[in-house]
């Protein structure tokens, strides 16, 4: 890569959650919904296209609006929000966008000749008699479409199952014919929701939402968000219609379940709902997911981590990092934006975002203002963590801060490890740099900063001083 790659992989002012990654030709494309900075509900924007060359996963390009919120007759007045989409290449070589709106229970389809051009409304997924899927007696509501095309058949996965709702049974698979709209095989359930998971392999991680499907070798991987919401799980089958068997967790956006460097139940960030999928790029596999920012659930950003399969095809849960698509640790030299912090927690960590008092990744200005983000509402005991860096000859650490405060950041190179030094910070109404001579042992480590003092410093960046 020409540059290093970070999490989030898109600019800090962009909010694209629910990412479905695909390689078409020599580029990787991510299709997701579109949140706003400081939004008040999910998915308020148009669908935006983003892509990168497969040989440089740091070089993301905005393709512009690929489908506007009012591009479908059912939402001509633009009042509804575009929820999570998915894309597949049809048997005719064109690209088909499947999506739902927030106030209807049907699946819409748009089509384009290229992966990231302007998609045009095509129609609605329908039964053979023309009734739209989701509106016939006995149909369950449609939600979060995931699609896979093989030959003349397209497998459509949908569903949403909240706790306590016995009217919804689980994730469904519906087979569509070559017109990409008409149902060729009626829906079958492939993963149970909370009310129907007892006694199945899904009992501890029942289906909630975010259906996605991928194929690796002769095995189909069904990716979904469990009832815990912060985790993406995987299940496998030899037939796209199932039966699927639960396999494990791919990633949690607060690292719950990871016990390699901390207690497995400890959330290193305030999590929330999750949605994404897996993709192979040049022989390496990645999971795309999203994180919560701005202290609530409605300004989410896309992240990615490399994942690994064992000989039996099992996926080990990935740890969340700052380096994501980089292919290894970041270089401990120069300066980095604070928004690549993957750990952000108080002395009493929160499992879910939403408490207005919690520290948060945010930005100045309004939605779509292209200004660098920062971390706000840091308070006594708040820890900001970055993973991982390759330390070589580091003799000092610096920070960039502002706001009313008096104290210092304790510096550690391991989670809960010894304090290596302190970086002072004082009140300032503009961004100022502070540094301290701190020797960090050579090797691959994280960087954790814990605030000890008064006030509430804001953090925009960290940097390294080297010999």
Task: Give Cβ neighbours of residue 330 (< 8 Å, ≥ 6 apart).
Answer: 4, 6, 322, 323, 336, 388, 389, 390
User: How confident is the prediction along the chain (467 residues), in pLDDT tens digits per residue?
Assistant: 579 999 999 999 999 999 999 999 999 999 999 999 999 999 999 999 999 999 999 999 999 999 999 999 999 999 999 999 999 999 999 999 999 999 999 999 999 999 999 999 999 999 999 999 999 999 999 999 999 999 999 999 999 999 999 999 999 999 999 999 999 999 999 999 999 999 999 999 999 999 999 999 999 999 999 999 999 999 999 999 999 999 999 999 999 999 999 999 999 999 999 999 999 999 999 999 999 999 999 999 999 999 999 999 999 999 999 999 999 999 999 999 999 999 999 999 999 999 999 999 999 999 999 999 999 999 999 999 999 999 999 999 999 999 999 999 999 999 999 999 999 999 999 999 999 999 999 999 999 999 999 999 999 999 999 98
Burial string for 254-292 (b: 16+ CB within 10 Å, else e) reads bbbbbeeeeeeebbbbbbbbbbbbbbebeeebbbbbbbb
Cα(452)–Cα(424) distance, integer angstroms: 9
**Structural domains in the chain?**
20-328 (2.115.10.20), 331-466 (2.60.120.260)
| SS (HEC) of 294-361 | CCCCCCEEEEEEEECECCCCCECCCCCCCCHHHCCCEECCEEEEHHHCCEEECCCCCCECCCCCCCEE
What is the model's pLDDT at position 467? 85
Fill in the DSSP letter of residue 131: P
What is the bridge-based pairing of β-strands 421-437 and 27-31?
A: unpaired
pTM: 0.98
Task: Give Cβ neighbours of residue 15 (< 8 Å, ≥ 6 apart).
Answer: 34, 35, 36, 37, 39, 45, 293, 299, 300, 301
Rg (CA), the chain: 22
Handedness of CA 347, 351, 356, 358 (dihedral sign): positive
Fill in the DSSP letter of residue 274: -
Cα(419)–Cα(56) distance, integer angstroms: 36
Catalytic residues: 18, 209
């Amino acid at each position: 890569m020409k540059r290093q790659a970070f999490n989030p992989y898109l600019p800090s002012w962009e909010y694209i959650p629910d990412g479905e990654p695909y390689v078409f030709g020599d580029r990787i494309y991510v299709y997701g919904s579109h949140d706003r900075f400081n939004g008040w509900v999910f998915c308020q924007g148009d669908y935006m296209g983003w892509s990168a060359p497969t040989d440089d996963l740091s070089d993301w390009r905005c393709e512009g609006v690929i489908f506007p919120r009012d591009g479908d007759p059912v939402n001509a007045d633009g009042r509804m929000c575009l929820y999570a989409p998915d894309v597949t290449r049809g048997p005719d070589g064109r690209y088909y966008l499947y999506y739902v709106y927030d106030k209807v229970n049907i699946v819409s389809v748009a089509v384009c000749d290229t992966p990231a051009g302007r998609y045009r409304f095509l129609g609605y997924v329908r039964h053979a008699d023309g009734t739209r899927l989701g509106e016939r007696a006995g149909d369950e509501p449609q939600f979060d479409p995931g699609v896979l095309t093989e030959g003349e058949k397209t497998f459509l996965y949908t569903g949403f199952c909240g706790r306590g709702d016995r009217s919804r049974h689980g994730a469904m698979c519906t087979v569509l014919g070559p017109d990409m709209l008409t149902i060729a095989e009626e829906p079958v359930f492939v993963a149970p929701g909370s009310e129907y998971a007892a006694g199945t392999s899904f009992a501890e991680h029942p289906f909630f939402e975010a259906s996605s499907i991928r194929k690796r070798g002769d095995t189909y991987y069904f990716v979904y968000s469990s009832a815990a919401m912060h985790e993406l799980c995987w299940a496998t089958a030899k037939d796209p219609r199932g039966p699927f068997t639960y396999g494990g967790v791919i990633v949690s956006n607060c690292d719950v379940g990871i016990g390699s460097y901390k207690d497995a139940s400890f959330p290193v960030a305030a999590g929330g709902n999750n949605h994404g999928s897996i993709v192979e790029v040049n022989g390496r596999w990645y999971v795309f997911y999203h994180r919560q920012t701005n202290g609530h659930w409605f300004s989410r950003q896309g992240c990615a981590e490399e994942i690994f399969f064992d000989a039996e095809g099992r996926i080990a849960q990935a740890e969340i990092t700052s380096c994501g698509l980089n292919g290894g640790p970041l270089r401990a030299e120069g300066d980095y934006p604070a928004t690549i912090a993957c750990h952000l927690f108080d002395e009493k960590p929160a499992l879910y975002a939403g408490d207005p008092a919690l520290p948060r990744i945010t930005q100045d200005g309004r939605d779509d203002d292209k200004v660098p983000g920062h971390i706000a509402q840091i308070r006594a005991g708040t820890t900001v963590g970055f993973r991982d860096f390759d330390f070589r000859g580091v003799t000092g650490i610096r920070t960039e801060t502002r706001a009313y405060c008096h104290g210092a950041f304790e510096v550690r190179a391991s989670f809960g490890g010894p304090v290596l030094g302190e970086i002072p910070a004082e009140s300032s109404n503009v961004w100022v740099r502070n540094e301290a001579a701190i020797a960090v042992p050579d090797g691959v480590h994280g960087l954790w900063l814990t605030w000890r003092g008064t006030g509430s410093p804001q953090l925009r960046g960290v940097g390294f001083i080297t010999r």
